[in-house]
Structures are given as structure tokens and as C-alpha cells.
Structure 1
Amino acid sequence: MRKALRLTALAGLFMASFAQAATPIDVYRDPNCGCCKSWIKYLEANGFSVNDHVEPNMSALKQRLGVAPRLPPCHTAVIGGKFVEGHVPVAQIRELEKHPELRGIAVPGMPAGSPGMEMGQAAQAYQVIGLTQDGTDEVLASYPASSTQ
């Protein structure tokens, strides 16, 4: 019985430390967007603590954050003072702090198969774009297309 109690206590400590280790991120989204909610679930499943903000004026928010008009697809997140635009995979979000030259990163459009856009159909090829401080684009990662056959 003591061993079971000790294991239960250790499990509780592990879960508490895991919850504290979650990386905070602010996500701003339109109130009617379903894929935004899917992307938030994806972030939470991958160790992020999401502060979900329903934003009535996404255009003004994107402009304030310096998101280039050619990049905005949907929701916008902010982490470490940088923007994360659209359906960006966790791997590139975690790498963002290693890129001081970037203002933010984006997945332009809403490509099928990207995080939050998994709908059973073939995945489209897409790129994760970094926007530098001087306004130029830099390809950070490329994801290939795939079929469901």
C-alpha cells in the first residue's frame, strides 16, 4: 500500500512539473474559426500552454505585429515577442528563439495536412517562412506533399 501511495505521489509530482514546464504562447483568432481551435489543441498536445484570445479585428492585430500582408492566412500567435502566423509546426516554433534576425515565422495559406488542417485528404506541400528584421523572407523548412492512398 505504501509503495502504491509513493508511486501515486511521484506521478503527481511528475505531472505538476510537466504542467509547469509548458511553454506559454498567446494565440489570437477569429471567434468562428475551427482550424484555429485544432491548431491550439495541437500546441497543447506538444507542450505549450495556450492563452487563447478571441480577436474581433485580426487585420489590425497583424498590422501591429508587423505580419507582412503576403503572409497572413488565419490565426496569429505571439511567443518571445515574435509572431507565429498560421499553421506552423511545433519544430519551427521551438527553433524561433535561435533566430534573433527574425521578426516572426509563417505558413502562408492554409495548406491541407499542416498542423490543425489535417482533414484526411492528401497533404499539400508547404514551407515555413521566416520574416527578417529588414523585411525579407527566408525559407526555414519545407514539408512535402503526400497522398492518403
Structure 2
Amino acid sequence: DPKHGACWVAYAVLEEKKGNLDKARVIYQQGLKYDPKHAALYRSYAALEERDQRWQRARELLRRGMEVVPNEAKLYHSAALLEAKLGNIQGLAELNKIAAVRFSQDIPSRTGEEYLERVEALEQNALNTELNELNADELPSESS
């Protein structure tokens, strides 16, 4: 299936391991044409460029990925690692601002609320189980 991004990544990685960097690049480009929202294509392609010390190209690929798949945190993480590797503090600060806006949901609070709801549901379930056991003990036995 040409729209399956993971296959394109696997194929490109295979070619890179064989030393065919140009062929791997063509494969990544084809993969992005068929499955432009597959974040791993951008990340893996950028990693190839990074290993080949084509820093600007790696940066461009990650930026494009963040535009096309804006809610994929791994793209931001890969971009931050690249900027850190390059010692680009300003780039890191810019990424942090973008990510803070993009992922501004109050995750700890939401997670805490979900946890409390789950605890309450478990406590209610335990109470229901105890009540069912008590009621079962009060039922007349079949041998009486």
C-alpha cells in the first residue's frame, strides 16, 4: 500500500544501511508524497540528513513535519534534540514557545481529575461487590 508511511520508512532505512543515501532520500520523498501526514517519515528523513551533517535540511524537514502534523509531539522533540546538538539556544526557546501553545492543555490537572474519577469508580465497584456478597449471605441456602 503506497499510503502506508511505515513501509516507506523501512524501505528508506534499508537503502541507507546499504549506503545508498541518495536512493533513501528519493524513497522518503516518495513516501511523503503518498503519506504526507506520517510523522515518522519526517523524523526518519531528518535523522538521515542529520547523520549526513546536512543540518539545515534536517531542520527544514522537521519544521515541515510540524506544519503538516502539528499535534505530533515527537516531531517537536526531534527538532529540540537537533537544536540542542547544534547549540542553538534561541532555536530551542522558539520551539518551547511553539510547543507551549500547541500543547497548552492542562495535562497534569486533567490526568489528576481522571485519576480521581477512576479511584471513585473503583471504590464504588468494591462497595457494590461487598453489598452483593452480603445479600448473597442473607439468601436462604438450597439445602435448608
Q: TM-score, normalised by structure 1?
A: 0.24
- In terms of Rg, which structure is larger? 2
Give 1 or 2: higher strand fraction. 1
Answer 1 or 2: which has greater helix percent. 2
